[in-house]
Structure 1
Amino acid sequence: MPSQQKLLEAPIHRALLSLAVPIVIGQILQSAYQLTDAFWVGRLGAHQVAAVSVSMPVTFLVIALGSGLAMAGATLSAQYMGAKQYEKVNHVAAQTMLMVLFTSIVLGLTGYLLSPYFLTLLSVESAVYQDALRFMHVSFIGVVFVFTFAMFQAIMRGIGQVKVPLYIVLGTVLANFLLDPLFIFGFGPVPAYGVMGAALSTLVTQGLAAVLGLVVLVKGRHGIHLQRRHFKPDMTYIRRAFFLGVPGSVELSARALGLIIMSFLVASFGTVTIASYGVGSNILQVVTIPAMGLSMAVSTLVGQNLGARQIERAEKVTYIGTLWGFLALTLLGVLAYFFAPNIVGFFIPDDPQVIEHGGEFVRTMALTWGFIGVQLCVVSAFRASGNMVNTMVLSLLSQWVFQFPLAYVLSKHTALAEAGIWYSFAVTNVLIAIVSVAWFARGRWKETRLTEDDHSVLQVTEEALIEIDEHR
């Protein structure tokens, strides 16, 4: 594991690589949950793929509501680590874990109870409804495990420890690979659960990951050592984390709501379009993994360098990471453009219509993927500096000002039809990247302080709101 001092003093390229490579590998492995599910569910047919596709945005919305608290904990952990305030790192980790556990239980129960109403609002076809409902119910039961392990990963990344989460993910992905076909198709005494089997497999393996993560934190051998005294509720910290974390929750929730609204629009064109959208979205998640991993490395380095008051180095980290993200996703986009039908056919081989429409979706947006890499790295720098409102505003612009209005107008009021939805992705990728870089270049993010006497966390939201008011 790269030591904290190496992360703060090593050449930026080397520090980024030392963090990004294990994170990218971990992200690739973690995406194998969705890939494995998509591969096996695709063998069941287009209706089953559609059932998973309409379920995911709703599940993501509920998870997003509590994820801002995890962001706050990860941001503070990175800056306290950079400032060498190690006891506060432990305190932040424990308090954030408490909040995340409570939030996940409440949101998981709420999502479970409201699942039928979500699907009714989405006007899901009768052939898809029951499978989607079963998938959502099991997914919401597992929300507490998803939250817990995500919090563990975020805290460990914040302190620069990226290999232990990687090992846990590797083990659970292998378990999921074995359990997925078993639960979906059945074998021996195990019945065939169909689409619900994919959710059951993920539930079991995420539960295992959450337990292992908690064990690592309590054992204290990898940079964080949680003890009973750290879990005593600290309302002062909770209030601070709330102010820092709420914009992050709004950001992710707005993104999830945008996906749900997009699902309404996609569903209006029928099952083939829903399945094409679902497969294309899965492919997009996979190809953005390098930039996601890189952006997480950027977040860790920016946070620790800001905590150590190395502001110019934090800025250089962001620009180097942004360039790398652009180049990596542009290369993947070019490859995806030429092999789109083959890639789509891997996920759903027996439906020529879905292969055709899904291939069009991938080709339309592929050449703009590099701009996603730009946005991800810039947003990570904002988040690491504590400027959560900036990331929230960028998310609102992306989903509600650019993408959804474009998708609606192009698909419903032009001859493009469902292809208008695909074009909205491409246009939004470019626009939001330009806005993100322009805002970052202004430099106001450098003024935020989270570790000076630990008093300015409450001012973060106010400072960002003042900046937003100046744009009006």
Structure 2
Amino acid sequence: MIMGMVMMMSFGLVDTFFVSLLGTHELAAISFTFPVTFTVISLNIGLGIGTSAIIGRMQGARDFSRSRFYATGSLMLSVLLVGALAFIGYLSIEPVFSALNADPALMPAIRDYMSVWYLSSIFLSLPMVGNSVLRACGDTRTPSIIMASGGALNAALDPLLIFGFGPVPAMGIQGAALATLIAWLVGASWIIYLLAVKRQLILPRILGLAELKECAREILRIGLPAAGANMLTPIAGGVMTAVVAGYGAEAVAAWGVGNRMESIASIVILALSMTLPPFISQNVGANLHARVRHAYHIAIRFVLMWQLAVFVLLWLLSDWIAAAFANEPDVGFLIALFLTIVPLGYGMQGIIILTNSSLNAMHRPMSALILSIVRLFVFYVPVSYIASIYFGIQGLFWGTVAANAMMALLSFASFRRALNQEWPTTQQGEIL
């Protein structure tokens, strides 16, 4: 999963790198799109979480017939919901990005990118939710291959479509979105073939309206709170982008690069957040509750040590990374400043993410949603904003670290309490 996630997360990073070669104007434009694109992606993530939790439990209970039924419904539901959200997003590009404090001069570039990206998001829904089906059935290798192939195809197409070559015209920032569209279209075709033909993990037909409603009710019971929790992240990110915009286009460009670097730096956390929930769901379905506690504690201890090492590495390479992404000294300075402060909180952020994904796997989505609301709007945004008032953009960076530390402690305590409420003792009599 880690190898696959590296390639999947490279979509945004590779796009950012090649677009940065066009100039600070284009880099600032694509940086503004991150909160919006992640909102749509978060809906897919939420639906995938609901799908994984339900199918994982059915697999653990050996109920394979219902598993295929719900897998089919989840794919249909994802296309319908993401398609509707993308359509609304396409119609509201200018008002949304104006609300994010985007400079009117950036709006043509933003529209060029988002008009194609919204179409591509519909095809993204199939591999994202389809991969959740595969992981819930115990296969993490195939989703990794699909994601890695999509990332490689996107990376190969980016320079061709952005800068042009031979008969292919230079499309600029819109070429980055078109490369993403082609990569996700290939991934969608591949996952449907695997699930329907090769693995037979979904039904070979379209569900009727009554059947789709039945599936939607169960999937959305977990998927909607999970999607809502994930959507809160880009909403908070949009607020933070608006705050950063007060420091100028250079700060927005640096913030965008830093956020995309965060996706790569947190790759182990993201991989664990996709593999730990099916493990927990299957063991809940098989009534092996002690393994749930044990797996969670192992993941938390590991991610703290790993992310500390990542912080040290980013601190040492900060100047080199800044030079690779920035053409202007002011942008490079702010990127380096970001990388020497913000990654210190990634390990604590890992505790938050893994706790939320574990609660969803235990079919406690509202607990995860409440923790997400508290994290973003009680700690992350207020603490960072207040710190920026007194200490400028450097204070904002330190504020994110402090917010993650406080929320990590609360998340860990909340999960322990949830375990004690759910299962006071394990089947072996061990106190949780």
Task: Give the one of 405, 408, 413 matched to 1:430.
Answer: 405
Distance in 2 (alpha carbons) for counterparts of 1:266 and 1:137: 25
Q: What is the CA-CA distance between 1:438 and the residue it aligns to?
A: 0.4
Identify which of 352, 355, 360 aligns with 1:383: 360
CA spacing shift, 1:62–1:28, aligned 2, 3 Å: closer
Question: Which residue of the partner structure matches residue 249 of structure 2?
Answer: 271
The offset of 1:249, in angstroms, is: 2.1
- SS of the residue aligned with 2:92? helix
Deviation at 1:163, TM superposition (A): 1.5
The correspondence of residues 271-420 of structure 1 with structure 2, limited to 5 A, is 271-348=249-326, 350-412=327-389, 414=390, 416-420=391-395
TM-score (norm 1): 0.86
SS at match of 2:171: coil
TM-superposed CA distance for 1:177, in Å, is: 1.9
362-371 or 185-194, larger mean C-alpha shift: 362-371
Work out whether 1:199 is the aligned partner of 2:177: yes
Give deviations 1:266-298, integer Å, cap 9, x for gaps. Answer: 112110100110111111110100111122221
The letter of the residue matching 2:344 is: L
Whole-angstrom CA distance in 2 between matches of 1:372 and 1:62: 22
Amino acid at match of 2:94: P
Partner residue of 1:80?
A: 58
Q: Are 2:3 and 2:148, in contact at CA under 8 Å, matched by a contact in 1?
A: no
Distance 2:233 2:378 in 1: 12
Helix, strand or coil at the partner of 2:102: coil
1:64 aligns with 2:42: yes
Deviation, structure 1 residue 200: 0.7
Q: In the TM superposition, what whole-angstrom CA distance separates every residue of 1:123-161 from its partner, at most 9, and x where no partner exists?
A: 312332211121111111111111111101111111111
Q: 2:237 aligns with which of 249, 253, 259?
A: 259
Amino-acid identity (%): 26
Residue 312 of structure 1 and its aligned partner are, at CA, apart by: 0.7
Structure 2 CA distance for aligned equivalents of residues 67 and 329 of structure 1? 23
- 3-state SS of paired residue (1:325): helix
The answer as to whether partners of 2:123 and 2:188 remain within 8 angstroms in 1 is: yes
Which aligned segments of 4 or more residues in structure 1 are displaced greater than 4 angstroms? 229-233
For residue 19 of structure 2, the aligned residue among 18, 41, 52 is: 41
Stretches of structure 1 lacking an aligned partner (at least 5 in a row): 1-22, 449-472
Alignment of 1:67-216 (within 5 A): 67-216=45-194
> Is the Cα–Cα contact under 8 Å of residues 280 and 344 in structure 1 kept in the other structure?
no
Residues 233 and 420 (structure 1), Cα distance of their counterparts in 2 relative to 1, 3 Å cut: farther
Contact 1:291 1:328 in 2 (8 A): no
1:391 maps to a residue whose letter is A
RMSD (Å), alpha carbons? 1.8
DSSP 3-state at the match of 1:367: helix
SS at structure 1 position matched to 2:396: helix
Q: Does 2:406 correspond to 1:441?
A: no
Aligned to 1:470: none
Measure the CA separation in 1 of the matches of 2:292 and 2:45.
24
Question: Structure 1 residues 410, 399: CA separation in 2 closer, same or farther (over 3 Å shift)?
Answer: same
TM-superposed deviation, 1:233: 4.3
Aligned equivalents of 1:69 and 1:183: distance in 2?
Answer: 31
In structure 2, the residue matched to 1:238 is: 216
State how far apart, in whole Å, the 2-side matches of 1:439 and 1:123 are.
36
Residues of 2 paired with 1:73 and 1:192: CA distance?
A: 40
What are the superposed Cα offsets for residues 162-205 of structure 1, whole Å, 9 maximum, x if unpaired? 12222222322222122100110011121111111111100111
Task: Please say if residues 74 and 215 of structure 2, whose CA atoms lie closer than 8 Å, have aligned partners that are also in contact.
Answer: no
Would the aligned equivalents of 2:140 and 2:275 in 1 still touch at CA under 8 Å? no
Closer, same or farther: CA 50–87 of 1 in aligned 2, 3 Å: same
> Could you report, residue by residue, the CA deviation over 1:299-327 in whole angstroms, capped at 9, with x for unpaired residues?
12111111100001111011111111111
Aligned length: 422
Q: Greater shift after overlay, 57-66 or 151-160?
A: 57-66
Q: Distance in 2 between matches of 1:441 and 1:352?
A: 47
Moved more, 223-232 or 269-278: 223-232
CA distance in 2, matches of 1:37, 1:103: 26
Letter in 2 for 1:367: L
Answer yes or no: is the 8 Å Cα contact 1:63–1:107 preserved in 2. no
The letter of the residue matching 1:432 is M
Equivalent in the alignment of 1:4:
none
Going from structure 1 to structure 2, the CA distance change for 1:217 and 1:233 (only over 3 Å counts) comes to: farther
List gaps (5 residues or longer) in structure 2.
424-432
* Equivalent position SS for 2:247: coil
Q: Distance in 2 between matches of 1:160 and 1:364?
A: 37
Partner Cα distance (1:325, 1:406) in 2: 24
**What is the match of residue 458 of structure 1?**
none
How far has the Cα of 1:379 moved from its partner? 1.9
Q: 1:292 to 1:68 in 2, by over 3 A?
A: closer
What are the superposed Cα offsets for residues 214-260 of structure 1, whole Å, 9 maximum, x if unpaired? 11111142x72432276664223322223222211221122221111
Worse overlay, 27-36 or 125-134: 125-134
Moved more, 84-93 or 161-170: 161-170
**Structure 1 CA distance, aligned partners of 2:387 and 2:380?**
10
- Paired residues of 1:325 and 1:370 also in contact (CA < 8 A): yes
Matches of 2:364 and 2:226, distance apart in 1: 9
Pair 1:445–1:64, CA change in 2 (3 A): farther
Compute the displacement of 1:360 (Å). 0.8
TM superposition score normalised by structure 2: 0.93
Q: Bigger shift: 162-171 or 439-448?
A: 439-448
Q: Which amino acid aligns with 2:374?
A: L
